[in-house]
Amino acid sequence: MSLQRSLEAIKGLHPAPLWNYFVKLSQCPRPSKKEEKAIEFLRAYAKENNFDINVDNVGNCLIKVPATPGYENTPTVAIQGHIDMVCEKNKTTQHDFDTDPITLIRSQDGDWIHADGTTLGSDNGIGVCCGLALATDKDVVHGPIELLLTIDEETGMSGVMALKPEFCTAKYLLNLDAEELGAFYVGCAGGQDTTASFDIVEEELVDSSSFEQVSIMVSGLKGGHSGIDIHTGRGNAIKLLARTLKHVLDEVPSDNLKVFYIEAGSKRNAIPREAWVNAYVKKDKLEAVKERVAAFEKLAVSEFSVPEPNLKISVGPVESATTSTKVFASEFLSKLISVIFAVPHGVFQMSPVIEGLVETSTNLAIVNTRDGKIEFCTSQRSSVNSAKNYAAHSVASVFALSGADVKHSDGYVGWQPDMNSPLLKLCKDVYTEKYKATPEIKAIHAGLECGLLLETYPNMHMIAYGPTIVGAHSPDEKVRIADVAHTYELTSAILEAIAKSQ
């Protein structure tokens, strides 16, 4: 059923081979660190087309594509993307990302492809499939091509970190993981995660028969990419949940509301769209709690009327009731709320060099209740390494002052722009000649793999671009159909220009 719907969605779209490959890739469950099905698909693709494929010890794939006859001695070009995807779904969507395919849907206006209540995986599946289609297109003139397809880009970039210098031999690299048509990207942010863990302080609920279990939930937010969308003023579900609880507890004494579970977000690189607590509420105070939640919802809806028109804060039944009468101690809940208020989220600093570019930011991404602990996950980004470290330690300081066990990930470096790159000049010339327009030259506040690639391949010239993708890292993700064809044709022209420039 999923396959049939997906094929119907792409019917008549150009270039047909690219979209057909994207449907096939979408049939392969490919969460980060679980890309085995996608690797099997790439092995089958290489075998079908008589291409050599090399899979390294972590799962990165390199597919070697022979040059168009007569261009064998021109520079090798790598077309690069990552095969994993962010796995986010709406709370009401029934989907197992470990086993279920992604279902493609064409928008009613016919201009976009999105998924059925989940992330689409156009980030970066469209870029990957663009390379696969170009490699088999007999009308494309090119020198030797290496399709460099990495794993685990979305949860730490462990794939690109594991690349060996001898794995890829290309002189030029086209990264197809950018998401804005008409722009060439020459720089990106580095990143780091900061996590914190609190031991839950519990107490026994007295007279549990006089309480009712409820869920207080923030939902309907846009979420989005924690780099690309961090400056848009979108709501953070964790922050809004803490504000909701404080608004309730300011009027309803804590003895009448006892939280026993909290959860929010699921991906470190996605702004959290939903957050909720499960709690015992004194039956004779339930209406008062609902009134206070409704009152704060009214305030929040007014505050976020432009960026979050679908914001909802509600009180409802828990999905599965607990028989335990262990609840968070009132002082511990108060501390959690204060921590969420205090920990930074959003833009730290705008770039003083590139107008409109976020230089440094942090994302309060995940909170969950596990094995007697409350765990927080945050993610910091910056194009300046020292500023990234400052943001990470600022976040860590809030948690440490509150008594949490704090850890930092190793992180990854950013990509510093090279405005004198010969590849940049060539791509600008191709774009200008083909479209009679000047492309934007930009940096992005997101973690492209180019910075890490340069550490392994310091003499490689790189550029990043791609079709317009909106809502990446959220179930609202969609890719503009016309831009996919544009990206394909532009890449074809760049490959030909490189082959003929020697």
Give me the active site residues, please. 84, 153
In sequence order, what DSSP letters do the residues of 59-99 get, joined into one string?
S-EEEEEPPPTT-TTSPPEEEEEE--B---B-TT----TTT
Task: Name the token pair of 439.
Answer: 């492309």
Spatial separation of the C-alpha atoms in residues 90 and 88, rounded to whole Å? 7
State the DSSP string of 120-149.
Answer: --HHHHHHHHHHHHHHT-TT---S-EEEEE
Residue 499 in tokens: 């082959």
Q: Tell me which amino acid residue 239 is.
A: K
Give dist(CA 494, CA 477) in Å, integer.
28
- Give the position of tokens 């206070």: 292
Q: Which residues lie below 8 Å from residue 273, measured CB to CB, with a gap of 6+?
A: 88, 219, 220, 221, 222, 223, 237, 265, 474
| DSSP one-letter code for 437 | S
**CB-based contact 160:153 (threshold 8 Å):** yes
Structure tokens given for 461: 């010239």
Half-sphere exposure of 411 (CA within 13 A, CB side): 24
Give the SS3 label for residue 219.
strand
List of E strands, 283-357: 312-317, 326-328, 346-350
In the DSSP assignment, the letter for residue 100 is: P
Q: CA 395 to CA 406: how far, in whole Å?
A: 10
Phi, psi of 21 (to 5 degrees): -65, -35
Using the structure block, give the residue that is written with the tokens 């060439």: 184
Alpha-carbon distance of 470 to 116, in angstroms, equals 15
Token couple for 441: 């030259």
- With residue 172 as reference, give the H or E element that holds it: strand 172-175
Helix/strand/coil percent split, the chain, to 5: 30, 30, 40
Give CA 36 to chain center in angstroms. 20
Q: Are strands 145-150 and 77-82 parallel, antiparallel or unpaired?
A: parallel
